[in-house]
Amino acid sequence: MVAEVRPDHATEWAAMKAVASKLGIGSTETLRKWVRQDQVDAGARPGVSTEESAEMKRLKNENAELRRANDILKAAASFFAAELDRPHTRS
């Protein structure tokens, strides 16, 4: 919408302000961020795309889960190694 009404306004900010008002968005800054992210996603502006950001978030979550699993396995290995080192009495 901002791109469509841009020719009718003196600046891009004025166009964003008009669109934000029409859509009932409280902050023009919010709309500006959306427009900039759309430009990044379209390849018209440098930055991290929405897809790349989602993939990074997914990988960070997976990495955290793997670290937790690794910690559990290390603790279990230590526990069982200690059990093997204890002298056992036979009855």
Task: Please give, one letter per residue, the 3-state secondary structure of the chain.
Answer: CHHHHHHHCCCHHHHHHHHHHHHCCCCHHHHHHHHHHHHHHHCCCCCCCHHHHHHHHHHHHHHHHHHHHHHHHHHHHHHHHHHHHCCCCCC
Q: Structural domain boundaries of the chain?
A: 1-46, 48-84
Which pLDDT value is given to residue 63?
98
Which pLDDT value is given to residue 26?
87
Which pLDDT value is given to residue 83?
78
Q: How many residues does the chain have?
A: 91
Q: Mean pLDDT of residues grouped by 10 in the chain (91 residues)?
A: 92 94 92 94 93 97 98 93 76 59
